[in-house]
């Protein structure tokens, strides 16, 4: 046996008056025992991928040769429903069902010619809901020949989603009461005009009105028929809410904010935007305004809006790495991972820059939510083939393992915990918090 060291990024929080989860970055050096023996060729009976994982974990290939797999859900029988966007061209998307057969999963094509299907969720009726450009539809996975039925947009009688500009893909999530939350992304980066500039003293027209962009909508449905009774804008000032999950212990809706790009163009002293602004983790409140595009990070006025009063907006619960691009979230409530991961928030970082192409766990801190350590579970690279290039969807299976889609490599993988690996911290060295420029 030999000792190996791994570096785990964690965040410790303090308790400011305005919000209970304010991040300060730390590094924790953890020592683990690792066997010299060569790892097995399989991961829970699936082909094992040569990807760096946290000790005790492995990544198995469930399915490949997909085009652009995005959202996924795992059914109670272990089958996986995955949306495949196909491409950014309209009408190229599809939905697949994956069923475990021996050392892999059999793929069954369910629906084709869909308009950029992105997200998936299981409703309180057991049906699978699919979020796609301008529309949400559902089907019954228990039927031999399932049919898609519109819930929002299409033939539903409820107006469709805006599907405008840069961020037209919706994310969807249900709470325990059967309410449906749908993200509506901004059409622009920071509400700039067609020429990329902002008129001095201007306001962001995208943020206002009943069809405002950069928001999360709340749809109240009538059950058991699953028809929309009414809807409202639940929260605003959110550029692109691709990652959403609900902590059912507290009923809190959590959102991963994909923050703006190109801030250095308006900040001559900044060489590039590689580390600014940070992406964010937000605890969403009804009626809350989170400040896009006027403010970024912990209440800093955007350079295009220097007079913005950032105290008027809700601050993030936690800063995430810059341009990590959180696209998927799920709270871990299974029984396969070590106890330290119970109720942690698992997030896929899709970004193509250095903080992306990985999967992390934000550990629960005393029942207060994802305020504990940030532990990297999977580290990949865009240069990999059948590795972890750009993780998107993430779902918890009935077996306690986690399933992840990757739209760069066209694969679905299984994150499996093989064996309890004892780890013991032997020291904590604080680092300064992220620079809030």
Cα separation, 139 vs 155, whole angstroms? 14
Name which of 8, 25, 2, 112 is nearest 377 in CA terms. 8
Strand partners, 114: 93
The pair of structure tokens assigned to 303 is 């350079």
3-state per-residue secondary structure call for 166-193? CCCCCCEEECCCCCEEEEECCCCCCCCC
Domain annotation covers residue 437: no
Residue 115 CA: distances (Å) to CA of 134, 169, 179, 200, 212: 8, 10, 24, 37, 22
Cα separation, 335 vs 45, whole angstroms? 19
Domain annotation covers residue 213: yes
pLDDT value, residue 32: 38
- In degrees and rounded to multiples of 5, residue 339 shows phi and psi of -60, -30
Q: Each residue of 330-361: pLDDT tens digit?
A: 999 999 999 999 999 999 999 999 999 999 99
Q: CATH number, domain at 12?
A: 2.120.10.30
User: In terms of residue numbers, what domain contains 416?
Assistant: 2-195+202-430
pLDDT value, residue 338: 96
Q: Are 295 and 302 in contact (CB under 8 A)?
A: yes
Residues across the chain: 437
pLDDT value, residue 24: 29
Residue 271 CA: distances (Å) to CA of 198, 268, 435: 21, 7, 15
- Strands in 19-64 per DSSP E: 22-34, 42-43, 46-47, 52-53, 57-63
The pair of structure tokens assigned to 294 is 């006027």
Domain annotation covers residue 253: yes
Q: Each residue of 44-70: pLDDT tens digit?
A: 999 999 999 999 999 999 999 999 999
Q: Is 420 left (phi over 0), alpha (psi -120 to 50) or beta?
A: beta
- In degrees and rounded to multiples of 5, residue 283 shows phi and psi of -90, 110
Name which of 421, 419, 414, 420 is nearest 47 in CA terms. 414
Domain annotation covers residue 435: no
Cα separation, 190 vs 202, whole angstroms? 12
- In degrees and rounded to multiples of 5, residue 180 shows phi and psi of -105, 125
Cα separation, 83 vs 71, whole angstroms? 5
Domain annotation covers residue 409: yes
Domain annotation covers residue 137: yes
From the centroid of its chain, how far is CA 33?
31
Helices (H), 263-361: none
Positions in the chain short of pLDDT 50? 1-36, 421-437
Domain annotation covers residue 413: yes
What is the three-class DSSP state of 265? helix
Cα separation, 201 vs 308, whole angstroms? 10
| Domain tally, the chain | 1
Residue 378 CA: distances (Å) to CA of 105, 127, 164, 329: 21, 30, 33, 14
pLDDT value, residue 203: 87
Domain annotation covers residue 297: yes
Helices (H), 11-56: none
pLDDT value, residue 432: 35
Cα separation, 335 vs 293, whole angstroms? 41
pTM of the model: 0.87
């Amino acid at each position: 046996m030999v000792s190996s060291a791994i570096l785990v990024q964690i965040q410790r929080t303090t308790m400011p008056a305005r919000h209970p989860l304010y991040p300060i970055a730390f590094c924790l050096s953890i020592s683990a025992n690792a066997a010299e023996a060569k790892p097995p060729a399989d991961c829970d009976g699936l082909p094992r991928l040569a990807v760096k994982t946290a000790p005790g974990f492995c990544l198995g290939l469930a399915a490949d040769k997909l085009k652009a797999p995005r959202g996924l859900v795992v059914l109670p029988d272990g089958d996986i429903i995955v949306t495949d966007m196909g491409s950014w061209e309209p009408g190229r998307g599809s939905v697949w069902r994956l069923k475990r057969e021996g050392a892999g999963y059999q793929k069954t094509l369910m629906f084709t010619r869909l308009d950029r299907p992105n997200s998936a969720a299981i409703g309180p009726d057991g049906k699978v809901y699919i979020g796609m450009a301008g529309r949400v539809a559902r089907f019954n996975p228990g039927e031999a020949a399932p049919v898609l039925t519109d819930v929002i947009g299409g033939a539903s009688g409820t107006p469709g989603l805006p599907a405008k500009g840069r961020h037209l893909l919706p994310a969807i999530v249900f709470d325990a009461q059967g309410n449906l939350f749908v993200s509506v992304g901004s059409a622009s980066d920071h509400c700039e005009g067609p020429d990329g500039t902002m008129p001095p003293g201007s306001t962001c027209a995208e943020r206002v009105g009943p069809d405002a962009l950069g928001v999360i909508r709340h749809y109240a449905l009538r059950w058991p028929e699953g028809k929309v009774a009414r809807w409202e804008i639940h929260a605003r000032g959110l550029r692109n809410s691709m990652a959403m999950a609900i902590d059912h212990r507290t009923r809190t809706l959590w959102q991963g904010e994909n923050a703006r790009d190109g801030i250095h163009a308006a900040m001559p002293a900044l060489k590039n935007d590689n580390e600014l602004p940070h992406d964010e983790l937000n605890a969403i409140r009804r009626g809350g305004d989170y400040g896009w595009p006027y403010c970024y990070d912990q209440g800093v006025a955007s350079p295009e809006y220097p007079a913005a009063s950032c105290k008027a907006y809700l601050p993030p619960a936690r800063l995430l790495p810059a341009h990590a691009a959180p696209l998927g979230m799920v709270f871990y409530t299974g029984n396969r991972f070590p106890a330290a991961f119970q109720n942690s928030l698992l997030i896929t970082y899709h970004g193509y820059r250095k903080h992306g192409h990985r999967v992390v766990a934000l550990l629960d801190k005393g029942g207060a939510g994802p305020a504990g350590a940030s532990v990297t579970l999977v580290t990949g690279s865009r240069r990999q083939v059948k590795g972890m290039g750009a993780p998107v969807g993430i779902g918890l299976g009935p077996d306690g393992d986690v399933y992840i889609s990757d739209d760069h490599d066209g694969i679905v993988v299984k994150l499996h915990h093989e064996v309890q690996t004892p780890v013991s911290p032997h020291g904590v060295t604080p680092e300064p918090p992220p620079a809030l420029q």
